[in-house]
Amino acid sequence: MTCLLETSGLSRSFGGLAAVSDVDFSLAPGEVRAVIGPNGAGKTTFVSLISGRLAPGAGSIRFAGEDVTALPAFRRVQRGIAYTFQITSIYGNLTAEENVALAAHRPGSGAGLEYLARVGLQDRARQRAATLSYGHQRLLEIAMGLALRPRLLILDEPTQGLSDAEIESFIALVRQVAKDATVLLIEHNMPVVMALAHRITVLDRGRILAEGSPAEIRANAAVQSAYLGTG
């Protein structure tokens, strides 16, 4: 299988606590992969290592055949890795459209409208980002990620704060995005995970507990015990 992203022995500790420990992970082009696990499992640390927001203590990261382990985050963005943060990272004093245009490095009128339309925010293009609801700020952040035209789009808890109708639209959006990009998704909403993911990786205490299709993960006794609460 051709790998777009591959980690080998990836590890990171904080004050002696292993947040991510010896993780071997691979992601195929065009895949929608979900990463799930209980709070404190190391999910956000893991994707922060992939995106370059954190440096690993050990291990390596390869993207599109290149070793990117030592590259800073902005260099990884240039290579096609876009990461939307768990906590919104928008510019509150700018309009929604200006935020997207800035992310795309294409300032000027109309530069961000295409991506706002994809997430359903075109009617709020001129609204100052700080005045958007939390759910709309999350959608704006996704639009900013899409504006980078990534090969890999990493979404960290993207449905947090979204209404049921917005979640349905988000599922449709990810399916559309996956036609052109690979998607790595951290998500607690299990119906969303099961609807979108081709494969699921389960982290527990910084290590991979299980990997498989949604059906395989649903039937996995260790996952039921550690995370799904049915063991």
Strands 152-156 and 81-84, by their bridges, are: parallel
> What is the predicted pLDDT for the residue at 228?
57
CA distance to 55, 83, 116, 182, per residue, from 73 (Å): 10, 10, 24, 18
Question: Mean per-residue pLDDT for 114-140?
Answer: 92
Global pTM? 0.89
User: Which letter, b or e, does each residue of 46-66 get, where b requires 16 or more Cβ atoms within 10 Å of its Cβ?
Assistant: bbbbbbbebebeebebbbbee
Query: What residues are paired with 17 via a beta bridge?
Result: 14
**For residue 164, pLDDT beyond 60:** yes
Is 102:143 a contact under the CB 8 Å cutoff?
no
Domain 30-55+71-228 has CATH 3.40.50.300: yes
What band does 111 get if pLDDT is binned at 50, 70 and 90? low
**pLDDT at residue 230, as a whole number:** 47
3-state secondary structure of 82: strand
180 or 226: which leads in pLDDT:
180
10 Å Cβ neighbour count for 5? Answer: 23
- Average pLDDT along the chain: 90
